[in-house]
Amino acid sequence: YINNPGTKLSELIGSVIESIGQEQFKKYLWNQVLETIKNTTKYKERLLEFIQVSQIQMFPKKDPFSTENEANHKLFLDAFINQINDKSKRKEFNIVLKQTALEIIAEKNDGDSVIADYFYNIISEDFGISKTWETVITGSGKYLDNKIVKLLNAIINIIREQGFERFYLLVDEFEDITSGRLTKKEIDNYSHNLRALIDKERRWCLLLAMTSEALQDLKKVSPPLVDRLTDREIKIERLSNTQANLIVKNYLSLSRETETDSINPFTEEAINFINSESGELPRILLRKIHYLIERAVDELNEGDSITKAFAEKHLSKD
């Protein structure tokens, strides 16, 4: 779930990774890299050279590829670093491991060095390179905007390797794209790249949420994009007062000890007013209902009702 489409598509992809979780996605990347190293002789031997050179050690040499070091990448890295006594050798090891990681990630993505560099930036902290998470997820890498389709496919490949089968991407507040926050050039670039993303082979479900007005504005900007977006269209109608009362009753019932059709402590007039103040939108209605219940707990006596007057008083401050 992405609650902000960003100002360019690469930011949206960064938000996908952020939604998965920085540490979680880093773990997925390391799993991919370490599994390849373990099963590829040239990579394995390249790293083992650093602990096979003769050096005075107090303890017997340990195998970094033993099962006890498979739990996470930090155990694996420590198993090497702790056996390399020379500071310059440790630095050299980090360089070789970085080159190996970049090589593996690139191989997994048709030799694409841009994608490899993007993913490397996510795990770079483990190589002693400090990059803020914001820098990574903003998608500011050079040439990245031309690689959006490949990048999203690469992310999905990594996730699928962890055992996940389906990938759903819900982007909310898409009306931000046409609300005036972006320049005409930025909107054109965004819509062009999004159209390319939809046209190319994809193995995910993409759902964009926006207002009807935003959809009409988008039609003026990019009719071909709207044609693709509205191939399947879900229209969420505004709530009638009857529906609003039913929703409130159902949500209140979830917390009641006995089943009832009552909307108490709300009056019907209050719910109708709150629905109107919410623009007849379900999520805003429920947010305001919750807010008024909190106020009622603090201010009303037991048995009192949440009336239209009470709602008017507090929603004017909301």
User: Residue 129 domain-assigned?
Assistant: yes
User: 168: which strand partners?
Assistant: 205
Same-domain status, 224 and 254:
no
- Between 90 and 146, whose confidence is greater? 90
Confidence of residue 133 (pLDDT cuts 50, 70, 90): very low
Span 224-252, average pLDDT:
91
How much of the chain is helix, strand and coil, in % rounded to 5?
65, 5, 35
Confidence of residue 41 (pLDDT cuts 50, 70, 90): very high
Tell me, what's the pLDDT at 175? 87
Q: How many folded domains does the chain comprise? A: 3
Same-domain status, 247 and 268:
yes
Same-domain status, 47 and 134:
yes
Span 256-267, average pLDDT:
90
Peptide bond into 5 cis (omega under 30): no
Full residue range of the structural domain in which residue 194 is found: 168-229
Residue located via tokens 């003026």: 220
Residue-wise pLDDT tens digits, 59-104: 456 788 888 877 778 888 888 888 888 888 888 988 999 899 999 9
Average pLDDT value over all residues in the chain: 84
Same-domain status, 186 and 264:
no
Same-domain status, 117 and 201:
no
Do residues 30 and 123 touch, judged by C-beta distance below 8 A?
yes
How many whole angstroms from its chain centre is CA 104? 24
